[in-house]
Chains A and B, each alone.
Chain A
Amino acid sequence: MTTLLRTSPAPRRRTYSAIPGQTPGSPPWRVLKSILLLICVLLVVLPFVAIISTSFADAAQVNRTGGFVFWPENPTLESYRAILGGGIVSQALLVSIGVTVVGTALSLASSITLAYGLSRPEAYGQRPILLMLLFSMLFVPGVIPSFLLVQQLGLINTYWALILPTMVNAFNVIVLRSFFTSLPRELIDAARIDGASEWRILTRIVLPLSKASVAVIGLFYAVGYWNAFFNAMVYINESSMWPLQLVLRTYVVNNAAIGAGAAAADPGVPLPPSQALQSAILVLSILPIVILYPFLQRHMTRGVMLGAVKG
């Protein structure tokens, strides 16, 4: 039986229909749907084209249009040079990648076991732990007590401070658990009768059948770690240990904040136009996710078709 379950999903590459077996929609509906999707795509693509173009635009053009440009007339890498010069951004990039990879792995490990432990109502302590998860989404601890705790644990100025406090996310665990509980109960019970241990059931039955949801939750965690700057601001005093988002924040937010006049540095820094700089920062900070996403996507959209398990 377990051998059956190990069968990987049969790749279904039929081009004429997305979902095998599904009746095709009527032609007008299909046209309407295509138009709608096209509009959605355009609404997103155009601003992004503008952002990418602006990141390569030169000062004169940005200045003339007074905002985003749709095509760089004299493409320049000036904005990227300004950001990457000095080496602090490349170092921060390494920090971010490290924290994201290690953090996501640890988060997934602890969340999968937690969600699995809560996936069956008869499990010991299931209900109180589940309520604990739920309430943790409703009551948020203050910044100061969290800081004091991390300080007491001696984690200030360590990368652990960027991982441990956010390692278990209640929302992700609850969603993952709901995916686990919707798996066919018969499979698991059958495996139990066969004498499989819980660990074996989790790794050989539940996880292979939950590739899609695990990939999604993994993505959620990875994006969470990648985008986080607040904990780094609070827990890391050494700017050489900052992750990317906190370093970039000093370009975006602060650049906008100047104007108080009293605060401006003297002599100031001749940066490329803020719009171009900001666009380049966006491109840099989104790029890794854009690269990562298609790899995860394979697991997310195709998933496991239970039909394939029948054998």
Chain B
Amino acid sequence: MDMRLSRRSVLHAGLGIAAGAALGGSLTACGDGGAGVLPPAAGRTVLPDYVPYTAVTPDFPGTEQGVLNGFYHYPATPVRAFPDGPPAEGDPFRFMTIIYNPVPPPVSRNRLWQELNAYLGADLQLEIVPSTDYVTKFSLTIAGGDLPDGMLVRPEAPQKPGLLSALCEDLTPYLSGSAVRRYPYLANLPTMSWRNCVLNGRIYGVPMPRLNSGSAMFYRADFLAARSLNPEPANFAEFLQLCRDLTDPSQTRYACGDPLTTFYFVMEMLGSPKDWREENGRFTWYLEDTDRVRQGLDAMRQLVRAGVMHPDGFSTTGRFKDWFGNGQIAINYDGATAWNDYYRSYRSASPDLRVGAMVAPGFDGGPGVHWAGPSSFSMFSLKKAAPARIEQLLRALDALATPFGTDGYLLRKFGVPGHDFDFRESDPILNRTGTTENTLPAMFATDAPQVLYYPDDPSVVPEQYAWQQKAVSVLISDAAEGLYSAADAARGGPNRDLMFQTLRSYMQERNTWDDVLAGINRWRTVVGDQSRVEYEQAWQQWAV
């Protein structure tokens, strides 16, 4: 299939979503659900051209709607991404970025890092910040004024527009339109992910593309198979029955763990928009659609009453993965990339483990919808500097975006052969050194588009691909993605959590529907109404 994604086709897909959403959730028949929402106007012209990388042919071709490329094996001879030698030169690149893994050994003891420096042509000095501390460290760095050459900017960074225009380089002249072709691997990044890097019509950073099929409802295929249960419930009633069949309290085995993400899944069954919905320039938040919310919450009450929710699910955070791995729960809603993680983390302990994923059916039958995830994790912005330096930095970022099949990708993700990994056929299998060295958070500067690939067990790739096709066919995106609202950035997150708490209480029958309504009204007053206005303005500006 042609991987070329024209702006026209993105636009078309986006309008399809907007139109479908306008029907109030009866989007289900909309087969050409798109990779995301792009506002319909000239603001887009600033976006870089999309020039897909074609030197490696996938076993399972991705689609322009967002299905990822799938590969059984790594190419036996990785493509040399920079045949003329290292792309960059000059002073070391000081990058401040985030880490979600154990911190890797310093460069003096890290072959992968040393080789990466050689590959780039200049030293990469990473200032690594633990994920939970990033917001603080970011503010301090800004306040102190001694900025690194490049830094990760979270989507919800306070005062983002002012901050970026005051401190960061406007990359529009370097990347907009055909200019990006000078950096072929940045040009290979999906258009939708760039959408998150544009503010006030200017490009202020480079994206960290992520698969936009977002999260998946995983299930323990081994459990379902053992009881001959159908992993594809056709409606909510069948889902409820499936949950009942999977539950056995005497064995501490339950169907679902996290009440909140289970609620998301029910909302997908009900065809709910993902977060914000745009309709003729008007923005609505999904919980404001009270009829649907009430239906979803009452369905949750049914699940709770049926005893299929893990009894500690309401009072616990962060243990659901482990519960899923050790079989205390059989169904878990998680980021789609967790698929490989489950095998990696839990298969050694439970060899029978098989993971599958379902897509929400319609609540009363037919198809449901699938919520898209953000197309980019954050953006990576560059400190203001002379054009020659900016070009060097962009070349380094270009090298950090070299895609699957290249030597650069192999080095970043797996490291040095014989030291970090060994080849099994053409596939790299990490060893212990590799697992400590490859946590180098270069992927939080920029990264190649994600792919479906699991060298330890290639047989999962077709399953993942099939799920992706199904999910992407009913994909629905957050209309506010890539738009900036100061109110939502500052107060949105915590107030959302506050709202979720009210919902959790309702599921447990500890409060009433009036309390939920009061919570929604409160959210409107405190943050919602202002966010709405700001998103609508951002939408208009983008459209002008």
- Which residues of A are at the interface with B, using a C-beta cutoff of 8 A? 59-60, 62-66, 81-83, 85-88, 91, 143-144, 147-148, 151, 156, 233-234, 237-240, 242, 246-247, 249-251, 253-271, 273-275
Contact = CB atoms under 8 A, between A and B. Distances in A.
Contacts of B340: 266-268
B178 interface: no
Contact of A62 (B110, B146, B349): B349
B2 to A, nearest CB: 26
Contact of A262 (B139, B322, B377, B439): B377
B362 interface: no
B207 to A, nearest CB: 12
Given A234-B140, A259-B335, A85 B100 contact: no
A82 to B, nearest CB: 8
Contacts of A59: 348-349
Interface in B121-169: 126-133, 136-137, 139-140, 143-144, 146
Interface in B329-378: 334-338, 340-341, 344-346, 348-350, 373-374, 377
Nearest to B349: A63
Given A265-B100, A267-B414, A256 B140 contact: no
Contacts of B143: 144, 147-148
A78 to B, nearest CB: 10
B450 interface: yes
A83 to B, nearest CB: 8
Contact of B345 (A156, A247, A271): A271
A151 B141 CA distance: 10
A144 B438 contact: no
B462 to A, nearest CB: 19
A269 B104 CA distance: 11
Contact of B140 (A143, A242, A246, A254): A143
Nearest to B127: A237
A273 B318 CA distance: 13
Of A85, A237, A267, A269, chain B has the most CB atoms within 10 Å of the CB of A267
B255 to A, nearest CB: 16
Given A144-B140, A259-B334, A269 B130 contact: no
B321 interface: yes
Nearest to A265: B101
B345 A270 contact: yes
A247 B103 contact: yes
Contacts of A264: 100, 335, 337-338, 341
A236 B149 CA distance: 17
Given A250-B130, A264-B337, A274-B322, A148 B144 contact: yes
B432 interface: yes
B103 A259 contact: no
A263 B132 contact: no
A121 to B, nearest CB: 41
Nearest to A230: B133
A64 B325 CA distance: 9
Contacts of A81: 432
10 contacts: A64-B349, A86-B105, A247-B102, A254-B100, A254-B102, A254-B130, A257-B318, A264-B100, A268-B341, A268-B344
B199 interface: no
Interface of B: 96, 99-110, 126-133, 136-137, 139-140, 143-144, 146, 210, 214-215, 252, 318, 320-323, 325-326, 328, 334-338, 340-341, 344-346, 348-350, 373-374, 377, 413-414, 430, 432-433, 435-439, 441, 443, 450, 455
A227 to B, nearest CB: 16
A284 to B, nearest CB: 13
A66 to B, nearest CB: 5
Contacts of B439: 265, 269
Nearest to B134: A233
Nearest to B106: A240
Of B325, B341, B437, chain A has the most CB atoms within 10 Å of the CB of B341
B321 A259 contact: yes
Given A262-B210, A263-B131, A257 B103 contact: no
A257 to B, nearest CB: 5
B451 to A, nearest CB: 9
B208 to A, nearest CB: 9
A86 B433 contact: yes
Nearest to B252: A66
A147 B326 contact: no
B403 to A, nearest CB: 13
Given A240-B108, A254-B130, 8 more contacts: A91-B106, A151-B146, A247-B103, A254-B100, A254-B132, A264-B335, A264-B338, A270-B344
Contacts of A239: 103-104, 106, 126-128
A68 to B, nearest CB: 12
Contact of A88 (B105, B126, B127, B435): B105
Closest 3 CB pairs of A and B: A261-B335, A240-B106, A63-B349
Contacts of A247: 102-103
Contacts of A255: 101-102
B375 to A, nearest CB: 10
Nearest to A62: B349
B132 A143 contact: no
Contacts of A233: 129-130, 133, 136-137
A269 B335 contact: no
Contacts of B413: 266-267
B140 A262 contact: no
A143 B101 contact: no
A85 B436 contact: yes
B459 to A, nearest CB: 17
A285 to B, nearest CB: 14
A147 B145 CA distance: 11
Nearest to B98: A263
A256 B318 contact: yes
Contacts of A257: 100, 131-132, 318
B406 to A, nearest CB: 15
B426 to A, nearest CB: 15
Contacts of B323: 66
A261 B338 contact: yes
Contacts of B335: 259-264
Nearest to A249: B130
Contact of A234 (B136, B334, B438): B136
A70 to B, nearest CB: 16
A246 B129 CA distance: 10
